[in-house]
Amino acid sequence: MTLDQCFKLSMTLGQSSFPLSTRNSTAKVFGAIHLTSESTCFKAPSWTQIRLVGKERAGNTTRAFLDDTYHLSSQPTDWVFVSSNQYSLPFSLSSIPNNIPSSFHIDLPSANTALIYYTLSVTTSASADQKLLQPIHLHRTYYPIAPIIAILPKRTFWGITNQSKQQRWQYELEFPNTVNLGNTCESISVRLKAMFPVKKNECCLVGYQVVQLLHLVEEQKGGKDEEIKSQNQVLATGTHLLTSPNKSWSQPCQMTLTMDSASILPSMTESQRVAVEHYIKFTFAFCDSRDDQVVSLEFPMTMVGYTSAMISRHFDQINMLGITSSSNSCNSSIADELDSAIDVLSFKSSCSNNNYLTN
């Protein structure tokens, strides 16, 4: 029996997903390599190495964008005794570049798959003919030590509506422009104050939409890159009728922002072939607006973090490739659904018939 047939390689990762933090220049992946022998006689390997590979797959085309090899310590004393026939080698890869894209996976209705995945390949001198291939998951975060369900700080956006001078409103909007995917239930605060004399029956319908945009580039025949898919999806909507908008300046309007975590993708800007953007759109329809102008405001949002279901689907997809799912499908939205966060025409019709609430 040859030496490398007497050993079995395995690995335990330090956590289910590793953060790519905007606050650090590098990321860290850690865990332990296990070497199990068929006999009780153990001889530590003279060398051990880990190869980290990152790849992008769009449709039937795959490209490698990361391929780094890390040489671990060759000291026999670094191997830790676990049992009579098993030893472990703790490892920490602390110089992984932080500007790489996070792990990503989506299946599109056209049968195309967009996948960004990472694998660790382990080889040792004791089992040179064996190669352990372990998928890992990386996620983008702003707070690497915060728990997965952490609620991130909100931001306040303020300004004056772009209406005629006799109809301008001052606004303050407080909402999370960065959302942790582990906690997709947040709140929105809206404050309005008129900059003109307000009529007694003034009212305002406030609405919001959170929109996800997906852009996918696939290599076509002849080696030319061409954008083949660009889709929009509404992740969350909400409305609230203010019967006295001016009162919201001292008593802010509160709306719940709840998104379906199964439909949300992490924001993605680091990849050259996949881009995911998010924004929130506010619409204000004033029932006594003489120029019939509806105010719309858009602000960018960023989705970070991960969920356990997201990791499971991701690893399932990689395994299907032979190297890990029910997929998140990003259905195209009708263009009219993105023009406004509320049904303005219906609201205007109800206002014209004085069919709204009064204090």
More confident residue, 53 or 5: 53
CATH 2.60.40.640 range(s) for the chain read: 155-352
Provide the phi-psi class of 145: left if phi over 0, else alpha when psi is between -120 and 50, else beta: alpha
CATH 2.60.40.840 range(s) for the chain read: 3-141
- Report yes or no: 68 and 27 within 8 Å, Cβ to Cβ: no
Q: Does domain 3-141 have CATH number 2.60.40.840?
A: yes
pLDDT at residue 100 greater than cutoff 90 = yes
Instruction: Tell me the HSE value of 358 on the side-chain side, using a 13 A CA sphere.
Output: 6
Least confident of 72-81, 174-183, 297-306: 72-81
26-46 tens-digit pLDDT? 889 999 999 887 766 777 788
Q: Compute the distance between CA of residue 255 and CA of residue 238 in angstroms, rounded to an integer.
A: 7
Helix, coil or strand: residue 165: helix
Q: Compute the distance between CA of residue 223 and CA of residue 151 in angstroms, rounded to an integer.
A: 44
Instruction: Indicate the average pLDDT of the chain.
Output: 81
Q: Convert 49-73 into a string of H (helix), E (strand) and C (coil).
A: EEEEEEEEEECCEEEEEEEEEEECC
Band (145; pLDDT cuts 50, 70, 90): low
Specify the fold of 155-352. Immunoglobulin-like (2.60.40)
pLDDT at residue 86 greater than cutoff 90 = no
